Homo-oligomer: A and B are copies of this chain.
Amino acid sequence: MSGRPLDVLEASLNEPVTVQLKDGTSYFGTLAGYDQHMNVVLEESLGDDDDALVGGLDVEEVEDTTIIRGDNVVTITA
């Protein structure tokens, strides 16, 4: 899952990701979409992905389809 940043996002579609924002909050969900500005769409993550939150503080697990505007993003961890 290495390569250029947008290649990593493409490879992470339908996979769980954690998006850390500049305001200190983080969102966890399934990556449903993205664009070249790193705007991303997260959806509720189903299945056995709960371990991705181990040790995660201040991480909000999205319940509804959530668009995050790219200029807020610090990191996206796949």
On A, residues with C-beta under 8 Å from B are 1-9, 21-23, 27, 32-35, 38-41, 43, 62, 64-78
Contacts and interface: CB of A to CB of B under 8 A. Distances in A.
28 contacts: A1-B65, A2-B32, A2-B43, A2-B65, A3-B32, A3-B33, A4-B41, A5-B33, A5-B34, A5-B41, A6-B35, A7-B33, A8-B32, A21-B74, A22-B72, A23-B74, A38-B39, A38-B67, A64-B78, A65-B78, A66-B75, A66-B76, A67-B77, A68-B75, A69-B73, A69-B75, A69-B76, A72-B74
Nearest to A9: B67
Contacts of A71: 71
